Amino acid sequence: MAATTEMQVERVRELIAAIPHGRVSTYGAIAGAAGLSTPRTVAWILRVDGGGLPWQRVIRADGRPAPAVRTRQLALLAEEGVPITDGRVDMRHAFHEP
DNA sequence: CCTCTGACTTAAG
DNA sequence: CCTTAAGCCAGAG
């Protein structure tokens, strides 16, 4: 299926909302769990309407936040106690598998 | 209808 | 660790 369905968008929102405090997940992991064929759609959902969701817990596959919101995101994650080293999240301990 | 852009990812040099 | 390129999909112009 090419077009993204409402159900999938809903699933993405749930998965993101389910990320525990102090942990993080990635665009790719969320997309895969929601049945999307590309992580870009997850980024699109957060960009268009991330209201009410812990968007700061969604980072890129390399463990770094998206450059566009890097500063803000790192600050929020640091407040939650997420292990960050040199601007990079320690995935080994903070990654949350959907 | 076509082109460009973007909170992405993987592979390759 | 750096940059490119290609694949991907939704929106905007």
Instruction: For residue range A17-72, list pLDDT tens digits in order.
Output: 999 999 999 999 999 999 999 999 999 999 999 999 999 999 999 999 999 999 99
Question: Quick check: A52 CB within 7 A of strand B?
Answer: no
Spacing of A19 CA from B8 C1' in Å: 19
pLDDT at A1 over 70: no
Q: Phi and psi at residue A82, in whole multiples of 5°?
A: -70, 130
pLDDT given at position A2: 75
Distance CA A75, CA A71 (A): 6
Q: Which CATH architecture has domain A6-94?
A: Orthogonal Bundle (1.10)
Question: Quick check: A63 CB within 7 A of strand B?
Answer: no
Which amino acid would we find at residue A53? L
Neighbours of A88 (CB within 10 A): 14
Select from A85, A82, A93, A87 the least CA-distant residue to A54. A82
- Positions of chain C reached by protein Cβ under 7 A: 7-11
Helix ranges, chain A (H): 6-17, 27-34, 40-49, 70-79, 91-94
Domain ranges of chain A: 6-94
Could you tell me how many residues make up chain A? 98
Question: Quick check: A41 CB within 7 A of strand C?
Answer: yes
Instruction: For residue range A13-25, list pLDDT tens digits in order.
Output: 999 999 999 999 9
Q: How confident is the model at residue A11 (pLDDT cuts 50, 70, 90)?
A: very high
